[in-house]
Structure 1
Amino acid sequence: PLAPVWMASAWVGQEWIRDRFPLGGFPWGGLSFATAGQPHYLFSFGGPLYVSFAFALACSALAIIIASDAFHVRNSFIALALIGITFLIPISTLTKTAVVPSATATIAIVQGGVPGVGLDYLGRARTVTQNHARETAVLATDIKAGRVAKPHLVVWPENSTDLDPRTDPQTLQLIQSASAAVGVPILVGAVLETGQYGKVTNSAVLFTPGKVPAVIYTKQRPVPFGEYLPYRDQISGLSARFQLIANDFQPGSTVGELSINGLRLGVVICFEVAHDDVMQATVRGGAQALIVMTNNATYSQTDQPEQQFAITTARAIEFSRPVLTAATTGISAAINAQGEVVAVLPQTKPGYFVANITGNRQQTSASVAGPAIGLGLVVLGMLGLALTLIMRVQQRLREPA
């Protein structure tokens, strides 16, 4: 009768492993993210692994009931009870995860667009930076005309500069002029040189008028075979495609955070929004609202931007934090702490929006206990597999020779 529990736990176990191995893992196919439109309270209770467990358990239990040769009342009751417990227990935590407002900041998101498509999305040098500077100039004009409120911060997306602004004077001038036009800091997604040949970083840099640019965050989870080539010396000659990965992005080691108008913002970059450990560390580090800087231009006109946006929405619900996404080609949006989209820009069309963001100081049970809940389910799955193996061995030993 407990078979659904073992099945669901085993499913969670493979998701946990896939989030970490190999080469840092890739959790994109988590069952929880595919069910992001379903009961929201499950995310804020136990995080993505608990949601995956709940739906895997429900499906397993219903499958066992339907597949039974005869309708077994006891087993069916147990299966339905397991479903009820899994989905109803989290409801008791809803009153504890109400938003406790912190500071409010007005933030502008700029989606400048890119000149190319696919792997050649950047086009000629500095074009992507010029695009974002142009849209920021439109924002500055609208601010002066009183059409929009002056923000405390402007955010450009990941890879909104293709040259290191610290070493390329023209790129630096474009950003500084844009910052001066709006009169507030601009958080820019930049590729930075490290001083070592072929090694760069994917970073968020804050440009404040009259101040030296400050590196706020460096992406901790660069994507293998996208942002770096694993075992380059051993495999680079195996395919001509590997020559497209000219540089190896180096990982950062600390969470991204900055304070704007008293609001503590956590910063992550692109696919990191799908990694539990990165998001957990950012929120537990004190983030009251989140910024996701991303460049989905390579996947423009595919399902990838929508999939990433669904994951981002789930994170807003999980941590009860407003989330702002800044993307080169979309989806740029503002999501409130309940997972509701309050502002969004059309994909592939340049533009901007300004949003008032109020942070949340309250931690959800997912942010406090989510990792422990997930690990507990993984251990439960391992225990179930071990018991299954032991029972099969014992059964074979009892069989006559």
Structure 2
Amino acid sequence: MLRKILQGLKNAILNKQNLFSLLAGLAMVFAYAPFSFWWLAIIALATWCIQINGHSTKQATQSSYFFGLGLFGAGISWVHVSIDQFGGMPLFASLFLMALLCAYLAIFPALSAFIAIKLSSDNRLNIWLLPSTWIATEWLRGWFLTGFPWLSIGYSQIDSPFAYLAPIIGEVGITFILMVIAVSICLVYSRQQLKAALSVIASSLLIVFISSHFIFTLETGETKKVALVQGNIAQELKWQPDNEWPTMLKYLDLTRQNYGADLFIWPESAVPAVEPLAGEFLELANSAAALNNSAIVTGILNYNFETKEYFNGLIVLGKKQLEDTEGSYYYPSSNRFYKHHLLPIGEFVPFQEWLRPIAPLFNLPKSSFSRGNYVQPNIMANGIQLAPLICFEIAFPEQLHANFHDSTDILLTVSNDAWFGTSHGPHQHMEIARMRALEFGRPLLRSTNTGITAAVDHNGKFIEKIPQFEQGVLTTNVPLVEGRTPFSLYQRYPTFIAAIMLILLIIVRKRTQVKL
């Protein structure tokens, strides 16, 4: 039995279509930050489509699985850094867990091909169905088991002409358009349905060109001076009791050197003590900020002694409203935010009664949090209304939509990417944050422990940023804007409707036996 399995695996790997699909998936990593060869995404997708076009269920599904292995094997290799360096597991075990994660995520591209085949006639893949089924399985990937929507294709286009589509149809819409173009290129290469394929490519490019002329948000003329603090605290020192006060005083000293800003942002859990036990320091920072007519938004953990629950949160120190004179903070003030979308393993452990005894990976410091509410009020800091998201949450646009209002001034995200070292994970994280700014048409502030700390304008462009692994304070003026983008109003629904309509069109044509 084992011999047959190994032989089948060998045959699958040596299969030409599978090999080309794997290479196409591997190449996709270079379309994302920090490499940002955005055009490579189109070539890689088209290459994969060529390998599966017109093939049977087994071959197309298998090749799509290999494409997924390449995409996620190269694209999220940074996960291994946190497992290897901070998980306390042997190298073999950490590589095995990484491989297991990639094997799971590769199921979704394979599922997309499988569903497309089942909707096709004669169990042969109708490649036109792939954009719609891809969108469906990507939605499933972003929801199932709390969701992991990392490396969605549209993110790779943040610096491409396709970015003009983001305020209208969002990253998911860009993904759909790219898939449609890749399918069309595949058909042109195969000399099939040339007229339809070329028309689709031309129409897609025309849509991008027209979109570049739309303006949905305008600068009000008002700016806010902000200061983003990057402490660059080594992860292995962050939660050491002896390093608690030195860490907090470092952030306070960096802030004192830059008073004059309207708003200071400290990273996720910048204060390495639970809020009820950090009162002395918080009162000190609160008073200092208020006396200097400023506000500090900082990440901090809260512990409810009555319910015995931990929360990963943000609080405001100093001035809440412009007219405040003595500072707004008190414990437990309502002007706060608690993280809702927790990171598996890092912030909660599924099946913890079985997993925690296995390895230190499942017993990381502060890895048992409770969720904040899905919908929470924007936080107010010195008259600035902020829509906050913590770390991983920035990858979920629907959560931001639920908490976004006409009166929201700035998007805010804080993180601690020290877990991922010098890998490309933090760069991909920053890329996702920039897409949210472009989709919602608001400037975005991102403060992290080790980088990338940056201010981004409402067009998703960097205003200024601090290099990774450097201690520093980014001080800059951020222009405020007014207006709403279509995506901030209608989310993903136009793309979902387009995907459903494409499927219905193909099914109707099949039943009426009209060639596309």
1:132 aligned onto 2:248 = no
- What is the deviation of 1:261? 5.6
> Judging changes above 3 Å, is the alpha-carbon distance between structure 1 residues 8 and 65 closer, same or farther for their aligned structure 2 residues?
same
Q: Contact 1:333–1:344 (CA<8 Å) still a contact in 2?
A: yes
- What is the deviation of 1:383? 5.9
The letter for the 2-side match of 1:251 is R
1:41 aligned onto 2:170 = no
After TM superposition, the score normalised by the length of structure 2 is 0.66
Q: CA separation in 1, counterparts of 2:439 and 2:367?
A: 35
* Cα deviations by residue, 1:223-279 (Å, 9 ceiling, x for unpaired): 111111123234333444322255411111123513456543211111111112112
Q: Contact 2:217–2:485 (CA<8 Å) still a contact in 1?
A: no
Match of 1:252 among 372, 377, 387: 372
Q: CA separation in 1, counterparts of 2:276 and 2:308?
A: 17
List alignment gaps of at least 5 residues for structure 1: 141-149, 392-401
Specify the alignment match of 2:136 in structure 1. 13
* Cα deviations by residue, 1:124-147 (Å, 9 ceiling, x for unpaired): 32443222112112213xxxxxxx
- What is the deviation of 1:382? 7.1
Match of 2:223 among 90, 95, 104: 104
Q: Contact 1:44–1:365 (CA<8 Å) still a contact in 2?
A: yes
The letter for the 1-side match of 2:232 is G
Specify the alignment match of 1:86 in structure 2. 204
Q: Contact 1:96–1:364 (CA<8 Å) still a contact in 2?
A: no
1:162 aligned onto 2:272 = yes
> Judging changes above 3 Å, is the alpha-carbon distance between structure 1 residues 120 and 34 closer, same or farther for their aligned structure 2 residues?
farther
Q: Contact 1:122–1:128 (CA<8 Å) still a contact in 2?
A: no
Q: CA separation in 2, counterparts of 1:94 and 1:258?
A: 33
Higher relative contact order (CA 8 A, sep 6+): 1
- 1:231-380 matches, within 5 Å, as 231-244=351-364, 246-253=366-373, 254-255=375-376, 257-260=378-381, 262-284=383-405, 286-377=407-498, 379=500
- What is the deviation of 1:378? 5.4
After TM superposition, the score normalised by the length of structure 1 is 0.83
Q: Contact 1:202–1:219 (CA<8 Å) still a contact in 2?
A: yes
- Which shows bigger deviation, 102-111 or 176-185? 176-185
User: Normalized per residue, which structure has more helix?
Assistant: 2
Identity %: 23
> Judging changes above 3 Å, is the alpha-carbon distance between structure 1 residues 108 and 192 closer, same or farther for their aligned structure 2 residues?
same
Q: CA separation in 1, counterparts of 2:292 and 2:264?
A: 8
Q: Contact 2:411–2:442 (CA<8 Å) still a contact in 1?
A: yes
The letter for the 2-side match of 1:323 is L
Specify the alignment match of 1:146 in structure 2. none
Match of 1:195 among 301, 305, 309: 305
* Cα deviations by residue, 1:81-139 (Å, 9 ceiling, x for unpaired): 2233334335545555332334532221111220x24x554443244322211211221
Match of 1:52 among 152, 172, 175: 175
- What is the deviation of 1:181? 6.8
Q: CA separation in 2, counterparts of 1:199 and 1:247?
A: 12
Tell me how large the CA RMSD over aligned residues is.
Answer: 2.9
- 1:179-190 matches, within 5 Å, as 179=289, 182-190=292-300
Q: Contact 2:410–2:443 (CA<8 Å) still a contact in 1?
A: yes
The letter for the 2-side match of 1:189 is G
- Which shows bigger deviation, 320-329 or 97-106? 97-106
Q: CA separation in 1, counterparts of 2:348 and 2:501?
A: 35
- Which shows bigger deviation, 150-159 or 162-171? 162-171
Aligned residues: 373
- What is the deviation of 1:356? 1.9
Q: CA separation in 2, counterparts of 1:193 and 1:210?
A: 23
3-state DSSP of counterpart to 1:113? coil
Q: Contact 1:136–1:178 (CA<8 Å) still a contact in 2?
A: no
Q: Contact 1:255–1:267 (CA<8 Å) still a contact in 2?
A: no
